[in-house]
Amino acid sequence: MYDYMVRICRARRFGFIFLVIHCAPSALAGKMKIVEEPNTFGLSNPLAAQANRLQPKVSPSPVSGPAHLHRLSGKCFSYIESTYKYEFCPFHNITQHEQTFRWNAYSGILGIWQEWEIVNNTFKAMWMREGDSCGNKNRQTKVLLSCGGSSKLAQVSEPSTCMYSLTFETPLVCHPHSLLVYPTLSEQLQEEWDEAEQARYEELITEQGYNNLLKDIFEEAGFLKTQKVTEKDSSNRTKKFESLEKCNEEFQKQSEEIERLQALLTQHNIPYEKQPASPPSAAENSQNPVSVAPPVASRNSRLRGDTGLITGQL
């Protein structure tokens, strides 16, 4: 606490009071208390009102990639260019804050951690997508990793509108094998990659088929954002009807379409298997057991993925 000495001097001639404040020497010996606030991952601009806290559209993807880079999670690195401050939080997001005291100082999310960019068995860059809206699209940022003496943001640019490019330097990627993908995979996924390499070497699959297999492996490992539709999502797409009458109408249309296609197949002497109109009863099944033949794999079947076209065949 500061000690203050206040002396009131009354000026009789002019009829008003002077307040003279002297700061005691003990005030100079006071210590400032430093409070360390929790990391906000750049979502709060210290120069803006608390109500202007940024709201991300999606949650970040799980931490993935080389294990020695996981230590960067939870940390943020700042870079100031002109009147803007950029904050890069690996495996979380990247934000931009205008460093002015204007009442409407700009703050925005330039991207949220989504996936890796992999080229030639190497983690090349980190993709931050689903940032703030920019016209009819969302802002996104590509973060390139480069060897450096310390971990820091080294460069920020905007190659095209709402598309940003950052260079992040760190000694964690200076080793020539530090960004290789294969060593980070599980043993099972490494075996799948080995099989894909062998199949490409024997020309059993095309380059396109090989790349599709690698994409499946990277998605399984969590390095890429999967684009596959889950079973739960597909079930939500089931068509629902407002009433039983409309459901019956749709069923009648589908039945007529099936009959038309069956007649077309018969006209061209194409055999097909007729499906019963209603499922057989349990008694009918017991009297006429149906034998199910085991599936026969085609000669050119493959074990996984889209293997593309086989060389020399149409």
In 28-92, where do the E strands start and end? 77-81, 84-89
Name the one residue in this structure whose structure tokens are 């088929």.
Answer: 209
Amino acid at 314: L
Longest dimension (CA), the chain: 126
**What is the per-residue pLDDT for 119?**
93
Q: Which of 31-40, 94-103, 186-195, 261-270 has the highest mean pLDDT?
A: 186-195
Query: 77: closest CA among 39, 44, 46?
Result: 39
> In whole angstroms, what is the distance from residue 314 CA to residue 307 CA?
14
> Residue 38: helix, strand or coil by DSSP?
coil
pLDDT (tens digit per residue) in 149-181 = 999 999 999 999 999 999 999 999 999 999 999
Q: Which of 21-35, 119-133, 266-280 has the highest mean pLDDT?
A: 119-133
> In whole angstroms, what is the distance from residue 202 CA to residue 130 CA?
41
> In whole angstroms, what is the distance from residue 296 CA to residue 100 CA?
71
**What is the per-residue pLDDT for 109?**
92
**What is the per-residue pLDDT for 102?**
75
Name the one residue in this structure whose structure tokens are 């889950």.
Answer: 230
As given in the structure block, the two tokens for residue 68 are: 């020695």
pLDDT (tens digit per residue) in 234-277 = 445 566 777 788 888 888 888 888 888 888 778 777 777 766 55
Q: What percent of the chain lies above the pLDDT cut of 90?
A: 43
> In whole angstroms, what is the distance from residue 78 CA to residue 84 CA?
10
**What is the per-residue pLDDT for 147?**
95
**What is the per-residue pLDDT for 104?**
75
- The packing angle between helices 207-221 and 187-201, to 10°, is 180
**Residue 71 binned pLDDT confidence (cut-offs 50, 70, 90):** very high
Q: What percent of the chain lies above the pLDDT cut of 70?
A: 66
Q: Is the pLDDT of residue 23 over 60?
A: no
Q: Which of the 8 DSSP states describes residue 130?
A: S
> Residue 258: helix, strand or coil by DSSP?
helix
pLDDT, greater one: 45 or 211:
211
DSSP 72-83: GTT--EEEEETT
> In whole angstroms, what is the distance from residue 90 CA to residue 117 CA?
14
**88-92, 96-100, 209-213, 240-244: which has the minimum mean pLDDT?**
240-244
CA distances from 30 to 1, 23, 27, 95, 210 (A): 8, 12, 6, 37, 69
Q: Is the pLDDT of residue 22 over 80?
A: no
Name the one residue in this structure whose structure tokens are 């002297």.
Answer: 22
**Residue 135 binned pLDDT confidence (cut-offs 50, 70, 90):** confident
In the chain, where do the E strands start and end? 4-11, 16-23, 77-81, 84-89, 93-98, 107-119, 122-129, 133-134, 137-138, 140-147, 152-160, 163-170
Tell me the average pLDDT of the chain: 75
pTM above 0.85, yes or no: no
